[in-house]
Amino acid sequence: MIIQLILTCFFLGLVIYGLISIQRSQAIAYFLIALSVCGLFFVWQPEVANSLAHAFGIGRGADLLLYSWFLVSSSIMLLLNIKANKLHQELTDLARSIAINNAKNPSNPSDFQ
Amino acid sequence: MEIFWRTIINRTDAWLSVYLYWRNHDGLGKKLKDSTSWIVIAAYNEGSIIGSVVRNAHIRFTNVVVVDDGSRDDTGAQAHQAGAYVISHPINLGQGAALQTGISFALSKGAQVIITFDADGQHDIADAFSMACRLREGHLDVLLGSRFLGKCVGIPIIRRYFLKLAALFTRFTSGVKVTDAHNGLRALTAESAKKIRIRQNRMAHASEFVDQIGHLKLKVAEHPVSITYSAYSLNKGQRLTNSLAIIVDLFIGKIGK
């Protein structure tokens, strides 16, 4: 019962965060809310998780949730990595522009003609 | 019969020497300098050697640009003193990023041929000159240096086989037949330099470069070059353990497009 209350508070917090973030990014907000609602449902209806697990060939509902969480978090990490790469590319372009604008000409150009 | 063939070979060598001398010197015997090709050198913490590399490059090329990739020593100052254009990245971005910066700068200055050259002194400037001459003949867009077609002095055996494996991997992923995929000595025409865009900042740029050549269907060939490994260049070179990081970078790069 205690863990159910703790998890309920956690998922409700995620729902509130999702609602606040709707204006910033709708897709992520709705995904977060959907995930939290599913989480809340399985916290209070664990027998449904067990039935679903059996349908997937898994022994326990908790194991199903664990595997699902692994898939979701791995996908999130991959997407974050792609996002980080894009930001890094933008930073590179900015640094390049600054560097080229401040390029130094050779000290004695006539020596090298 | 043997004397006949020896005479033919000796005469051929003699004529080849005359031809090479004629191509590389003016009427007064002074070595010709290439003023429309640009040497691009990416450097990171190469303060002890960059001066000599730049001065060596100036023997055959008028325009040398060194991209100081956020070095913590006096690489930029040494390169500037030696007579190079110097572009300094405000932070360390990686060799790929530094090369792209140098290429963009050279293009803005009207370069007709761009040659990437390593900062650790393992390349021979004569190879760069002959690559520039070969590109000017007009049949090719890109020339990639290959140590396995030329000469490789002091290479550890493990590195030799690892590089051959890397070349196989690049052949498979890019479709471009290369024998040496991670050679820093490359020459490209201005038109092909405008089409190629290096996005991999770190060491994966070498594979990305060949990938783009294959994707853009550029006319590419390999050129025999000499690589001389020293204790300094071996210490500065890529670690074999970086290969996994390169593969991951390439994978993330392809997904992110």
ipTM metric? 0.76
Residues of B with CB under 8 A from a CB of A: 33, 35, 58, 62, 64-65, 67, 76, 80-81, 83-91, 93, 97, 100-101, 104-105, 108, 199, 201, 252-253, 255-256
- DSSP count for chain B of H helices, then E strands: 10, 7
Separation in Å, CA of A94 to nearest CA in chain B: 10
Per-residue pLDDT of chain B (257 residues; tens, 9 = 90+): 766 766 665 666 566 556 655 655 555 555 567 889 999 999 999 999 999 999 999 999 999 999 999 999 999 999 999 999 999 999 999 999 999 999 999 999 999 999 999 999 889 999 999 999 999 988 899 999 998 888 777 777 877 888 888 888 888 888 888 888 889 999 999 999 999 999 888 878 888 999 999 999 999 999 999 888 777 666 665 555 566 666 666 666 666 55
CA distance B209 to B202: 12
Contacts of A109 (CB under 8 A, 6+ apart): B83
Are B74 and B172 in contact by the 8 Å Cβ rule? The answer is no
Separation in Å, CA of B9 to nearest CA in chain A: 38
Long-range contacts of A10-15 (CB under 8 A, 24+ apart): A11/A36, A11/A37, A11/A39, A11/A40, A11/A43, A12/A36, A12/A40, A14/A39
Burial category of A35 from C-beta neighbours within 10 Å (exposed 0-12, middle 13-18, buried 19 and up): middle
Give pTM, 2 decimals.
0.76
Q: Which of residues 72-101 of A touch B (CB under 8 A)?
A: 78, 81-82, 85-86, 88-89, 92, 95-96, 98-100
The predicted pLDDT at position B244 comes to: 63
CA distance B27 to B250: 50
Are B131 and B205 in contact by the 8 Å Cβ rule? The answer is no
Whether residues B81 and A107 touch (CB distance < 8 A) is answered with: yes
Burial category of B87 from C-beta neighbours within 10 Å (exposed 0-12, middle 13-18, buried 19 and up): buried
The predicted pLDDT at position B9 comes to: 59
Separation in Å, CA of B205 to nearest CA in chain A: 13
Q: Which residues of B touch A113 (CB under 8 A)?
A: 33, 35, 62
Tokens of B1: 């019969």
Whether residues B252 and A82 touch (CB distance < 8 A) is answered with: yes
Chain centroid, CA B180 distance in Å:
12
When CB atoms are compared, the residue of A86, A99, A112 closest to B83 is A112
When CB atoms are compared, the residue of B33, B101, B256 closest to A96 is B101
CA distance B167 to A104: 37
Per-residue pLDDT of chain A (113 residues; tens, 9 = 90+): 898 899 899 999 989 998 888 888 888 888 889 988 988 888 888 888 888 888 888 888 888 888 888 998 999 899 898 899 899 999 999 999 999 999 999 976 555 44
DSSP H helical segments within chain A, as ranges?
Answer: 2-20, 26-44, 46-55, 61-101
CA distance B3 to B43: 52
CA distance A18 to A16: 5
Q: How far apart, in Å, are the Cα atoms of A25 and each of A19, A20, A31? A: 10, 10, 10
Type of residue numbered B12 = T
Whether residues B256 and A82 touch (CB distance < 8 A) is answered with: yes
Whether residues A95 and B93 touch (CB distance < 8 A) is answered with: yes
Whether residues A100 and B85 touch (CB distance < 8 A) is answered with: no
Separation in Å, CA of B238 to nearest CA in chain A: 22
Whether residues B83 and A111 touch (CB distance < 8 A) is answered with: yes
Q: Which residues of B touch A89 (CB under 8 A)?
A: 199
CA distance B184 to B168: 17
The predicted pLDDT at position B19 comes to: 61
Instruction: Determine the Cα angle at A32 with ends A26 and A35, to 5°.
Output: 140
